[in-house]
A and B are shown apart, each in its own frame.
Chain A
Amino acid sequence: MSAETATEAGAPVEEHAPRWRVLLSAVMANRLALFGLVVLGLLVMAAVLGERLAPYPPNAADVPERLRPPSLRHPFGTDELGRDVFSRVLVAARVSLQVGFIAVGISLAAGVLLGLIAGFYGRWIDDAIMRVTDMLFAFPAILLAIAILAVLGPGIANAMIAIGIVYTPIFARITRGSVLSVRERVFVTAARSLGASDLRLVTLHVLPNVLAPIIVQTSISLAFAILSEAALSFLGLGVQPPDPSWGRMLAEGRGFVQQAWWMGVFPGAAIFVTVLAFNLLGDALRDALDPRQRSAIESRGLTA
C-alpha cells in the first residue's frame, strides 16, 4: 500500500436516489399515469374482494327483476335473467386480471427466455427462433388464439395458454433486439475476460440491462391480453356460462341493445377503462425508463 490517501481520486461526482424511487416519483409526477395506477388499484381490490364487495351474488337469477334499467338498487341495471350487472362486472374483474397476468406471465417467461437465447447465441439458434416467431407474427393475433383454442378446446385455462402463446413472439423480439446491443457492450466483454460463464453473463449482465423495454411491453401487453380474453369470451371460447366475464357480458348484451343498453355498455366501459389504465401506465414507464428523456436537460448542461 502506498502513502497516497484513499481519497486520491476524489468523491463520487453525483448522488442518486435508488432506481425504483426515481421510477415511482416519475410515475407519480405524471397525472395520467397516476390515474392508471389508481384504476389498477381499484381493479385489484375488486378482484381480491369480489363477491364480498358485490351487493348481490353474481350468478343469482331474479327473473321478476329482469332487464331493469340502472337504479339505486341496481346501479348498472339487471340482465335478461335479473342478475345484477354491477355485481357481475365487479366479480369479472378477477377473471380479466387473472387472464391478463397469467397469460402475460406465460408470454413474458417464454418470450424473454427465447429472446435471450436467440440474441445471446446468435447464429442458427437465432435464425430458428426468429423464423418461428415470424410465422406466429404473420397470423392476426385473435385468429391465432382461436386456432389454438380450437385444438385445446374452449375454457378459461386454455384461453390463458392461447393468449400466452400469441403474445410470446413480441417479448421474444423485443428481448432479442435489446440483447443484441447489450451483448456488444464492453462490460460484457469485461466479464467474459474474467472467466464468467454464459449463465452468469446472461443473468447478471445482459438481463438486467434489457429489462426496461420488457417492463414497458408487459404493461401494454396486459391491456391487449385483457382485450383478447374479452374477445374470446365474446365468441364463447373463453369463460363459460354462467360465470361472468366482461367479454361474455358484452356478447350477451348484444342481443338486448335496443331494450337494455346497460347490459353491454357497463362491461364495455370496464374493458375500456382497464385497457386505458394499462396503456397510460406503460407510456409513463417508457418515459421514466428512457434515460435520454429522464436526464436530457441535466446532461446537456454538463457536457461542456
Chain B
Amino acid sequence: MTGHNGQRVLEVHDLQVRFGTRRGAAHVVNGISYTLDAGETLAIVGESGSGKSVSSLALIGLVPQPPGRVTGTVRFGERNLVTCSSEELRHVRGNDIAMIFQDPMTSLNPVLTIGRQLTEGMQLHLQLDDRAARRRAIELLDRVGIPSPDRRLGDYPHQFSGGMRQRVMIAIGLACDPVVLIADEPTTALDVTTQAQIVELVDDLRRDTGMGVIWITHDLGVVAGIADRVAVMYAGQIVETAQVDALYEHPRHPYTQGLLGSLPVLGQPERELATIPGLPPDPVHLPSGCPFWPRCPQRLDERCETERPQLRDTGEGNLVATFYEAKPASEAVS
C-alpha cells in the first residue's frame, strides 16, 4: 500500500446516468458515490454492462446528452462537474483530469504525427510555444519509456506497436500534469507481458506525480498489485468497496465472492471454478430491490426482491450493499 498524502481531489455523490432508448429508459449508473485522494489508486471493477465505463465518462462530461441524462454531484475542487458549462469542462478535461482508453489505436488520430497529438494539448492548456512544447513532448515520451523519443515525434500511430501506442496515450494524458488520471481498461487490448509493463508504468507515474488514479477494469487480477481501494460495480451500483487487502481477503458481497471464485488462478489448476448462474440484468428492466437477487446464492427472503440494500459497514473495513452478507465461506479465495 502506498502513503498518499490524503488530500481529497474528487468527490462523487449519488451519480446517476440514464439513457433514453426506444425500449424505455436504460438505468446504466444508479447512484454511486466515492472519493479519490491525491496519490491514491481506486480500482473500479465490473463486468461489461456494469456501468463502470459510463460512470467515468460522466465524470468529465463525455456522456452525450441527450440521449443520456446525468444527475448527482462530482465535486472537483470548487466545481461541480455535472453542472459545469461545456467550456469549463473542456478546460478540466485533458488539463486537470486526463483519460486513457482501452484501444490506443482508435483513440489516436491516424493521420497526425504523435508529436502533433502530444503538443496539441500543451499548447492549448499550457500556452507553450512550439519549441517548449516539443521539448516537453520528448521528455514525456522518454518518461513513458519510448526509446529515442526525439526521432519518434514525427512518426504516425501505425508505426508503433500496441504497447507503445498505449505509452504514447499515457504521455498525452500526462502532458498537462493532471490531478486525476482515469484509466479505462488501458491494458485489456494488450498482451500479458505488455500489460505488466503498462500497469507498472502507471503506478510509477502516480508515485512520481502524486496524481490520483481511477483504474477501471473487469479483471480483479490486474489491479490487485496497485490499487489502494477497490469498488465492485454491478448493474450500475457499487455493491462492495474496501481497502484492497480486505476486499480480496474477506469479500462480503455474494457477487464479489462469485467474481473472485470464477477466476482461474495461476498455480491453482485444481480449484473448482465457481460460476454465477444467469446473466447481468438489462438496464431497461432492472429487477426491483437488490439488482443481484435473481442470480444470488445468498438470497434469503422477499426483502431482497423489494428493498434496495444500501452500502453499510461490516466492521472489517468492507462497505457492502447486501442484507445478508456472504459467509466467509470456503468458496472465498484464500
Contacts and interface: CB of A to CB of B under 8 A. Distances in A.
A–B contact (CB under 8 angstroms)? yes
Interface of A: 8-10, 13-14, 297-298, 300-304
A14 B282 contact: yes
Interface residues of B, number: 25
A38 B19 CA distance: 36
B256 interface: no
Contacts of A9: 279
A88 to B, nearest CB: 48
Nearest to B66: A297
Interface stretch (B47-55, B124-132, B242-250): B47-55
B49 A297 contact: no
Interface in B262-316: 277-279, 282-284
A304 B49 contact: yes
Contacts of B67: 297, 300-301
B48 A304 contact: yes
B23 interface: yes
Contact of A297 (B19, B29, B48): B19
A304 B279 contact: no
Interface of B: 19-23, 26, 28-29, 48-54, 64, 67-68, 236, 277-279, 282-284
Contacts of A304: 28-29, 48-54, 236, 283
A203 B284 CA distance: 37
B50 A13 contact: no
A10 B277 CA distance: 8
B64 A300 contact: yes
Nearest to A8: B277
B49 to A, nearest CB: 5
A303 B185 CA distance: 14
Contact of B21 (A8, A10, A298): A298
A190 B68 CA distance: 38
Contacts of B48: 303-304
A21 to B, nearest CB: 14
A303 B64 CA distance: 13
Given A14-B23, A297-B21, A304-B53, 14 more contacts: A9-B279, A13-B279, A297-B19, A298-B23, A300-B19, A301-B26, A301-B28, A301-B283, A301-B284, A302-B21, A303-B48, A303-B49, A304-B52, A304-B236
Tell me whether chain B's interface is mostly helix, strand or loop, or mixed. Answer: loop
Nearest to B46: A304
Nearest to B279: A10
Nearest to A298: B21
Contact of A298 (B22, B51, B52): B22
Contacts of B284: 301
A291 to B, nearest CB: 14
Contacts of B279: 9-10, 13
Nearest to A15: B23
A10 B51 contact: no
A233 to B, nearest CB: 47
Contacts of A298: 21-23
Nearest to A301: B19
Nearest to B282: A13
Contacts of A13: 279, 282
A300 B62 CA distance: 12
Contacts of A8: 277
Nearest to B49: A304
A14 B67 CA distance: 20
Contacts of A297: 19-22, 67
Contacts of B28: 301, 304
A49 B29 CA distance: 60
| Most-contacted residue by chain B among A8, A13, A301, A304 (CB, 10 A) | A304
Contacts of B23: 14, 298
A265 B67 CA distance: 47
Nearest to B29: A304
Nearest to A294: B22
Contacts of A302: 21, 26, 49, 283
A247 B278 CA distance: 65
B32 to A, nearest CB: 12
A297 B28 CA distance: 13
A7 to B, nearest CB: 8
A301 B278 contact: no
A9 B20 CA distance: 28
A9 B278 CA distance: 6
Contacts of B49: 302-304
30 contacts: A9-B279, A10-B278, A10-B279, A14-B282, A297-B19, A297-B22, A298-B21, A298-B23, A300-B64, A300-B68, A301-B20, A301-B26, A301-B28, A301-B67, A301-B68, A301-B284, A302-B21, A302-B49, A302-B283, A303-B49, A303-B53, A304-B28, A304-B48, A304-B49, A304-B50, A304-B51, A304-B52, A304-B54, A304-B236, A304-B283
B188 to A, nearest CB: 14
A9 B277 CA distance: 7
A149 to B, nearest CB: 47
Nearest to A295: B22
A8, A297, A301: which has the most chain B beta carbons within 10 Å?
A301
Closest 10 CB pairs of A and B: A301-B19, A301-B26, A304-B51, A10-B279, A10-B278, A304-B54, A301-B21, A298-B21, A297-B67, A304-B28
